[in-house]
Amino acid sequence: MPYCVGLQSAATALLSAGFATQFTVAVVVFLAIILVTSSLQKEGVDEAKFLPGYSPFHIVPFFRRRYDFLNWGFHATGQSIFQFRLLRNTVIVVSGESARQAFFTAKGLDLTEGFKILSGAIPMVRGVTSDLQTRRIALIHKRLANVQRNLPLSSLIPHLLEDTRNAMEGWGSSGKFDPFDNVYELIFQLTIRSLSCSEIAEDPALVARLKVLYDTLDNGTTPATVLVPWLPTPAMIKKLWATKEIYEIVTHAISARERSGTSRNDTLQMLLDSGDEKLVVVGFIMGLLIAGARATGTTASWLMTFLGAHPEWRSKAAAEVEALLASYPYAPEVSPGSTQEGRPTRTPADASPPSLASRLGTIPLELWENETPVLDAIIRETTRVAQPHTAMRRNLGPELYINNKIIPTGAYVIYPFSDVHLDPELYPDPWKFDPGRKEVSHVPFGMSAGAEVSTLHCFS
């Protein structure tokens, strides 16, 4: 009886307390339940081994130090496959050749659903970038493939190079800059140019505002905002406000184009001419902007860093571009308004010589793709060393087995790219930047790790 009275008194006190107290108690109770249940977890004979320790203590390392955390998991369990929990989510980490093949071929392992647990930096708008129908996701992927065709890319090159020239002129001539600031900012501009519209790409203030908003989403991504998005933390409130502003900027640009009736040669026009519904157009631009900028921006920043530390490869890359320019010289003027083989005519003799950006802009895409083996090797090696990311799937099909361990329906499955990219048997001294390495092509599905395009992950 005293216990009942005590519980009743405690309940009365809690109900009479303010919202902040009630909320704090609820969170504490929730975490206590998770802590207790995690201590009771036991794996069956056909289940992957659990990580040692309490599961709540795995959350922060997974989000903040993922590469180190996963490596620790393999060592701590002594297995090539292990599991842990992120609150109610079961996460299974796999490695090895057979697991890699199963990961990339199993029909039930869904990429889009798998990315939900990592998509905190994507502006989430229901029906636009989240909770999409399969048909709408397939349509967005189809439009992305259209953007990457030779003709659209070729028409983009002069604009991208001009954007690059403008940005580099703003860096000054001191001889020093921070690639993770300046280069990342440039890549964001180029991503805007490639995946949105001229109305945004040609407005520096608007581009800068979008970068601030996407940075807010990225920096505000915490374990709480991803795992318990209903929790009204300050970070989540900022993310919601940033998402609202991004949505308004994109929809305003689309409406402006529709009202003007002017046709422009950009991605937005391609989407509008295809007759896609407005939600698909908005979702395509909102989701792909950050997905493309993050992956490409990180790679480009590291590439500049590596070239700064390896002058021999910097010289080789410069020589390759100079040879490309020499093999495709700027066309001389023939007569007013005419061209030779589609090349721009040269300006009059009394005019300023063409800029390097203009000269590079006349080189066909096919030459960039087929005549630049040094640049290809540098990009490939930078991606291998500087991008030890993970691919994620969620099992939406029936239970399946990987390495004789069960993958339950609804479980998340992770494959770390470092399983191949940093394997010392494939890449001796794997952390060394060496574009002269022989390309690894004999490993089954080894290229799948490198080819996992992050821009296809952005619609969950």
Task: Kindly write down the DSSP assignment for every residue of 149-180, as one continuous string.
Answer: SHHHHHHHHHHHHHHHHHHHHTT-SSS---HH
Domain total of the chain: 1
- Crossing angle for the helix pair 66-77 and 56-64, to the nearest 10 degrees: 130
**Position 185 in a domain:** no
DSSP one-letter code for 45: T
Residue 5 lies in a domain: yes
Mean pLDDT of 167-184: 86
Residue 348 exposed, middle or buried by CB count within 10 Å (0-12, 13-18, 19+): exposed
SS (H, E, C) 335-381: CCCCCECCECCCCCCCCCCCCHHHHHHCCCHHHHHHCCHHHHHHHHH
Per-residue pLDDT reduced to its tens digit, 404-429: 999 999 999 999 999 999 999 999 99
Give 456's pLDDT tier (boundaries 50, 70, 90): very low
Q: Which two tokens stand for residue 168?
A: 């580099």
Q: How confident is the model at residue 3 (pLDDT cuts 50, 70, 90)?
A: very low
- 2 versus 427: the higher-pLDDT residue is 427
Could you tell me if residue 199 is inside a domain?
Answer: no
Strand 49-50 to strand 81-86: parallel, antiparallel, or no bridges (unpaired)?
parallel
- Alpha carbon separation from 249 to 133, 217, 318, 397 (Å, rounded): 24, 15, 39, 38
Query: Which pLDDT value is given to residue 12?
Result: 61
Q: Give the pLDDT score at 64.
A: 86
pLDDT for the residue 279 = 79
Between CA 60 and CA 171 the distance in angstroms is 37
Q: Sign of torsion, CA 259 261 266 271?
A: positive
| pLDDT band, very low/low/confident/very high, at 26 (cuts 50, 70, 90) | low
Does 1 fall in a domain? Answer: yes
pLDDT at 401: 94
Rounded to whole angstroms, how far apart are CA atoms 452 and 448?
A: 6
Q: Is residue 2 assigned to a domain?
A: yes
Q: Is residue 25 part of a domain?
A: yes
> DSSP assignment, residue 96?
S
If we measure between CA atoms, which residue out of 106, 105, 80, 104 comes closest to residue 93? 80
- Among 4, 274, 322, which residue's Cα sits nearest to residue 144? 274
Tens digits of residue pLDDT in 42-59: 556 689 999 998 888 898
Residue 37: band (very low, low, confident or very high) from pLDDT cuts 50, 70, 90: low
Confidence of residue 437 (pLDDT cuts 50, 70, 90): very high
State the pLDDT at residue 49.
Answer: 94
Beta-bridge partner residues of 400:
407
Which position has the higher pLDDT, 6 or 225?
225
- With a CB cutoff of 8 Å and minimum separation 6, the contacts of 230 are none
DSSP symbols for 209-237: HHHHHHHHHHHT--HHHHH-TTS--HHHH
Of the ranges 171-180, 237-246, 405-414, which one carries the lowest mean pLDDT score? 171-180
pLDDT at 161 over 90: yes
- Provide the mean pLDDT of the chain: 80
Q: Which strand ranges, in their side-by-side order, compose the sheet holding 412-416?
A: 49-50, 81-86, 89-94, 412-416, 390-395, 109-110
Read off the pLDDT band of 114 (50, 70, 90): confident
The answer as to whether 29 is a domain residue is yes
Average pLDDT over residues 179-184: 91
pLDDT of residue 211: 92
332 vs 357, more confident: 357
Q: What is the pLDDT of residues 355-385, one digit of tens each?
A: 888 899 889 888 998 999 999 999 999 999 9
- Residues with Cβ within 8 Å of residue 143, at least 6 apart in sequence: 270, 271, 274, 276, 280, 284
Domain coverage including residue 12? 1-40
How many Å apart are CA 417 and CA 100, to the nearest integer? 10
Split at pLDDT 50, 70, 90, the class of 342 is very low
pLDDT at 157 over 80: yes
Q: pTM to 2 decimals? A: 0.77
pLDDT tens digits for range 286-323 = 877 877 777 888 899 999 999 999 999 999 999 999 99
- Label the pairing between strands 89-94 and 400-402: unpaired
Q: pLDDT tier at 348 (50, 70, 90 boundaries)? A: low
Q: Would you say residue 175 lies in a domain?
A: no
pLDDT of residue 103 exceeding 90: yes
